[in-house]
Structure 1
Amino acid sequence: MNMTLNRLPSITWYWLKMNNGSLEGVDPAGEVSMKEEIPSQITAETLRLEDLPEQATGMGKDMTALVRTSGVPVHSYATAENQQADGVLRLGYAFEHEARSVNAVSLRAARHSSLTVVQDFSSAPEAEGFAAVQTRYLVEEGAVLKLIQIERLGSGYTFLNDIGGRVENSGRVELIHLVLDGGHTYLGVQSDLAGYKSALKADIGYRVGGDHTQDINYFANHTGKKTTCDINARGVLRDHARKVFRGTIDLKKGSSGSVGNEKEDVLMMDDTVRNQTLPVILCTEEDVVGNHGATIGRLDESVLFYLQSRGMDREAVYEMMADARVASVVHLIEDGRTRAEVERYLGGISDSNEE
């Protein structure tokens, strides 16, 4: 299967080569077994893709076609109305060397409930293979979904991480993505802010090195009134790494009173990296606010001078600042157990209590 992925909702000049990503010869063979930790208040069942309502996702139709043709089941998890889940739903994916897998997940936070989910994607450091995971969500009226995703994959892995969901009246979804290791990784997210005062908050932290690539497509689709989104990406590129970030805020007709913000901060450690950042605001409504911006490049010379004058060499300053960008996203993880595990993986020591 040849796939077109992460296509921009509104395409730009073709010579920029940023309109979409692509993969050829994708041939998965079943799903990988998950390690589940399911709190007692959460209902788990297995569905078919056809059992779920239609939902656009960040990677697009080819990704959904891949899930459909693979025939894998959809693992569905849901809260009851007015239920604050006591504990965290943990889904662990351990990908083996030379595996070719597809997984599908559905999350539903019922009316006035809360749900926290951690998806941990990992493999051996030198593992090679292909993995794709599609996660769909529905956040109903007054509900809150907190979704934390951690990628720690081998240098030879190609990984597709696809997300799509709908947020209804006064609902809120909070997404944290940490791309810590991996070969060629793709992240696509579409969040439909359909309800009155629905909200999205997304924080992405990544580090890309070697000759690896990171391809990101974020689409905040505002259709409800007084909706809000905040998309913040912080990352580090080194060696010969390549990264593309597409961030689109679409303030559609009928979304009056809505506010959309997006920002990316990229630290380029070497002159041989390649960064492409395309923040886009689309608007067909008058009474809205949209803000976007990006900070890309090397460290400010005044910062370097200040720290070097206090005994740090240039390389140490860059490494400290690189670590700080990823750490700033790690510290947003409220679940102490997950945060401590990530900090240990990164070589740090957590000062928080594990939960």
Structure 2
Amino acid sequence: MADVMQSQKIESFTILVWKRFKKHQLALISTIILIILGLVSIFAPTIEYFLGVSHDTASLSMVNMPASWPHILGTNELGQDVFTRLIFGGRISLSVGLISALTSAIIGSVIGLCAGFFGGFVDSALMRFTDAMLSVPVLPLMIVFSALELDILFGSKNLVGAGIGCLAIAAITLVFRYASFARKNQSTKDLSFFRMIADALIVSGTLFIGYVAIFYFIDWKSVGSGNFSSVIKLILIIVFFGWMTVARLARAAAMQLKNMEFVTAVRALGANNKRMLLVHILPNALAPIIVAATLEVGGNILYEAALSFLGLGIQPPVSSWGNMLNNAVDYIKTTPSLAFWPGFFILVTVACFNFLGDGMRDALDPHQVMKSGKK
């Protein structure tokens, strides 16, 4: 009976959010447009087969043809069909934007929630690193990293050095854990020495396992030599520079929630930190994280377009909206449609994600949801 009542409460809250979201007409229209773009991109091979054209096969006899059936938007400088290249490019651009935004949201949420919940040295260390990352010029560094190959970025292997570094991190963690206990005026018997050792080993062990997984279990030479190596590299670069905003929002939410009555109650009932974070704080902090991740998708698509336009992002033969713009630069006077269509798709997609983020921000605002529920 209790489970049924709880599900009804969750459903009613969802209905309130949906009603508020429907009131934002631009967000609703943007959602429909994005769904259509997503479906067209997913079924791009089927559409290409139905039209009987090719997005990657060059044909010099059909160079820069005007729009006609089956070439709905004409052909490019190599005789490739522009429409199918747009929808195949949409697969790459949307994938880069969504995957990098989701990964950044996960990393930023973990860092921000841990910083806001634990406070003290953990908060200071994580947030100083976050502030340092926020202060760097993003686009110039993206350009520098984009010029490097994956095997150069991740090809070096030094297991002994990594082990020594992880042991040093474990020692530093142990010292600061001891200092945090000492500040609480606890006696030596209450310092829980084995628990501090376990925490230090967990931190260093996690870093060491991550190092081994990145540098030994992944063959970066083979990954870096495939057609989609530029896609993987671009996602990694965007994620590396894109998690900080979510981290700050998650930290603010965790700092606010950890002092609320329901968290104090579950702490008094004996809940551990893991349960409080995952069960009670994370679900209530999802609203700003979801909104930030949604808005970040549009920015990531712009980053992909900018780097690909400069020739440092997605590399041919893989098509994306950015490198289609790059290829159309030399033909902007003779065939302007080659630059118009990918630019138009980028504009529409980024605007739709921004409108979607605005609508979700209004719909997920708990104060507005409760007000609408009282009406």
What is the TM-score with the length of structure 1 in the denominator? 0.20
Larger helix proportion, structure 1 or 2? 2
Which has a greater percent of strand?
1
Who wins on radius of gyration, i.e. which is larger? 2
Higher-RCO chain (CA-CA 8 Å, sequence separation at least 6) = 2
Query: With structure 2 as the length reference, what TM-score do the two structures score?
Result: 0.19
